Amino acid sequence: MENNKVTIHDIAKELNIDSSTVSRALSNSDRVTQKTKDKVNAKAFELGYQRNLLASNLRNNKSNTIGVIVPRISRHFFSSAIAGIEETAYDAGYNVTICQSLEQFDREQKIIQSLSANRVDGILISISMETKDNAILQTFKNSGRPIIFFDRHIDIPQISTILIDDFQGGFDATEHLILQGCRKIAHFSGPQNLEIYKNRFKGYIAALEKHKIPLNEDLIISSKLMEADGIENVKKLLSLNIPIDGIFSSNDTAAISALQYLKQQGFKIPEDIAIVGFSNEPISSVIEPSLTTIDQPGFDMGKIATNLLLTQIKDKQGQTEPENIVLKPVLIQRNSSKKLS
């Protein structure tokens, strides 16, 4: 008997029972005894039977799969979040389909369409830097399947979000530089259509205001915060001939490339310019000097987001109220900013 042609009828014939009983046993129905289930599952395994999950999912209108969309899996924060998502989903009997938008809105749209067509039960998403429109996400939500935003979000009513307190993180990073004696502090910001970068920027402003340091808008540079952007941003700063003594970057990637470029130009870090990043990438602790940064609890965020999504998936009546959960950031002090002992 060829494995790919084994059917429930073959199993029924081998065991001399009805095919409907086999079907119920394979579906773990309460109408079949555990003894029969064990017998059927053992024979199915012996014969090499494979369930047609797609057909089963179409019948049940449930795939036991959740979709996850992140900008880049290579970023430590997102890989940590995915680890938390997968562990939680696996424990609950769900599969996970992981996709990356690569910071492209068009790609993100196609991924959402594909996940929807494949009948995922819900989506966890951290949106791309280009995302401004929410129409396709609204359509998915209107189909009765839940969406949860984590880390990066766009405003859609009645959708839960799991975020870090980006305002507090931006404030803590900037105030730390001020307490180290910095007064001309530049800020590398991400695209201002994203709430996370808007809020980190607001935190930067609030720390300057608290310590009565005038805001110089020339010291605020917005970019996609890639490695090349960190170098270009710091070149712009140096061309201004303003004696900057601190940089708060909204991510570690741009902070690290700026740090390395400044070292190549003969600047001492932190004596000449102190630097703070955001996200606590693994490389941040091993570069020289090690990078002061804001830690984001990616694994915890992934677990919380998944538990929230699974609760909403199981809530067929739509009774679950949306939640907005905010996690606390933690400043990790390292050598790139320690001017004062």
Give me the pLDDT at residue 172, please: 98
Q: Is the pLDDT of residue 82 over 60?
A: yes
**Which sequence spans correspond to the domains of the chain?**
3-51, 64-164+298-327, 166-296
Give me the pLDDT at residue 1, please: 46
Residue 212's φ and ψ, nearest 5 degrees, are 55, 40
Distances (CA, A) of 261 to 40, 256, 273, 294, 334: 66, 9, 12, 21, 19
Which has more pLDDT, 278 or 319?
Answer: 278
Give me the pLDDT at residue 119, please: 87
Q: Is the pLDDT of residue 216 over 50?
A: yes
| CA–CA separation, 324 and 71 (whole Å) | 21
pLDDT digits (tens, 9 = 90+) for 30-53: 888 999 999 998 988 888 887 765
Give me the pLDDT at residue 29, please: 82
Residues 51-73, mean pLDDT to the nearest whole number: 76
| CA–CA separation, 276 and 135 (whole Å) | 36
The CATH classification of domain 64-164+298-327, taken from the options 3.40.50.150, 3.40.50.300, 3.40.50.2300, 3.50.50.60: 3.40.50.2300
Which among 161, 164, 113 is positioned nearest to 298, based on CA atoms? Answer: 164
Q: Is the pLDDT of residue 321 over 80?
A: yes
User: Are both 3-51 and 166-296 of the same fold?
Assistant: no
Confidence of residue 57 (pLDDT cuts 50, 70, 90): low
Q: What is the pTM of this model?
A: 0.81
| CA–CA separation, 240 and 165 (whole Å) | 32
Fold of 166-296: Rossmann fold (3.40.50)
For the packed helices 298-314 and 76-91, what is the interaxial angle rounded to 10 degrees? 40
pLDDT digits (tens, 9 = 90+) for 127-186: 999 998 888 888 888 888 999 999 999 888 889 999 999 999 999 999 999 999 999 999
Residues 62-80, mean pLDDT to the nearest whole number: 92
Give me the pLDDT at residue 340, please: 66
The token pair that represents 274 in the structure block: 């102190």
**How much is the mean pLDDT over the chain?**
91
Q: Which residues of 73-105 are buried (b: 16+ CB within 10 A; e: fewer)?
A: eebbbbbbbbebbbebbeeeebebbbbbbebbe
Across 10-24, 101-115, 251-265, 310-324, least confident range? 310-324
Give me the pLDDT at residue 61, please: 60
The token pair that represents 336 in the structure block: 């790139």
CB 52 within 8 Å of CB 83: no
Residues 225-239, mean pLDDT to the nearest whole number: 96
Give me the pLDDT at residue 124, please: 98
The CATH classification of domain 3-51, taken from the options 2.130.10.30, 3.90.850.10, 1.10.260.40, 1.20.1250.20: 1.10.260.40
Give me the pLDDT at residue 3, please: 44
